[in-house]
Chain A
Amino acid sequence: MDVLEVALAFAHALGWATYIGGAIAMEVLWRPAQAHIPASQVNVVCQRMGRRYRWIALAALGVIGASGAVGLLVAQPGTHPPVALTSSYGRTLLAVVAGWGVLVALVATMAVVAHPALHARSAAGLDREQRDAARLARRRGIRRMDLMLRCELVVALVVALLGASLASGGIL
């Protein structure tokens, strides 16, 4: 048994478990609980949780990328089919890498752009029209964030299926 290979496999599994399990948990645990808490408190909790969760998700994706790449490099010859577009393994692996790239882009956009924009404070001294416009923009921002979160979850679930198929030679 190669300790490095086991450590990399563990880091890879841990990264995926943290990322996918976290995304499912945020959707299944936190979203329904919001209905029982006043909106002002939901806003405070969302801000705190979003800030922490996004960095945890980005770190998990970083661990997945690093452990996956190093794992491929140090794998003993013959332990997996050739990484080429002519093999199902190679095509599936390419799709996994592409999916991982989409997830990194989505999470980074949410962490750096979408989430901070939702919690930006309105300037003082706005007239009624400007306040309404700011409120509308925030509502749109929340809808956009919800859509991105659901896209992220679907992409993650598909990538996990593709990844799980690699041990059997891939499915594409």
Chain B
Amino acid sequence: MTTTTMQILAAYLHVLGVATYLGGAIVMEFVVGPAQKAIPPAQAQVMGLKTADRFLAFAWGALGLILASGLLRLATLHNLGLLASTRLWQTSYGRTLLAMVILWAVLVVNGAIITFVLRPKLAGRMSSRVSAAQASAGQDAKIKAAAWTTRLARVDLGIVLVVALLGSSLKFGGVG
């Protein structure tokens, strides 16, 4: 495979990774979320769980693709060494790239919190033997987990928009 083909492939996969993450987040926030309110709460909960579970897998795949294709892109542009050099914070391009890497890491941390902390709380079933107080506490915990998931998803959407802005500026030398 020629360098140009690799550059095109890396650029395409990078665009797809960012598009699936950003577009998926926009669809979840502005299309799926409001539509859930149109059906009974029990069905809305099923719909929310099914779409959110798939979105999480989708988001993790996109984050992996963004990292892999980003590294491939830097390699095909003979710029991989930038990540381990002082140019990373001494040049505008390097600082912009560094900011993107840090924000990507924040997305990974938020994704891990949603996947491993909040989702299990939302998906857990309550035993039929619990007392009324325990059932109420369990319900409160679920409501809090749902509220935190929504907040984190909105923060992630904001972050990915900033990442897209930074990425768009790289072609012109960065914004840092």
Contacts and interface: CB of A to CB of B under 8 A. Distances in A.
Contacts of B7: 167-168
Contacts, number: 154
Interface string B20-48: 11111111101110111011100100110
Interface residues of A, number: 46
A43 B64 CA distance: 34
Interface string A26-55: 101110110011100100110011001100
Contacts of B28: 25, 29
Interface stretch (A14-22, A94-102, A118-126): A14-22
Task: Give chain B's interface secondary structure class.
Answer: helix
A153 B120 CA distance: 33
B148 interface: no
Interface in A1-23: 1-2, 5-6, 9-10, 12-14, 16-23
Interface of B: 4, 7-8, 11-12, 14-16, 18-28, 30-32, 34-36, 38-40, 43, 46-47, 50-51, 54-55, 58, 92, 161, 164-165, 167-169, 171-175
Nearest first, the 9 closest Cβ-Cβ pairs linking A and B are: A21-B23, A9-B168, A164-B12, A33-B50, A21-B19, A10-B168, A25-B27, A48-B35, A164-B11
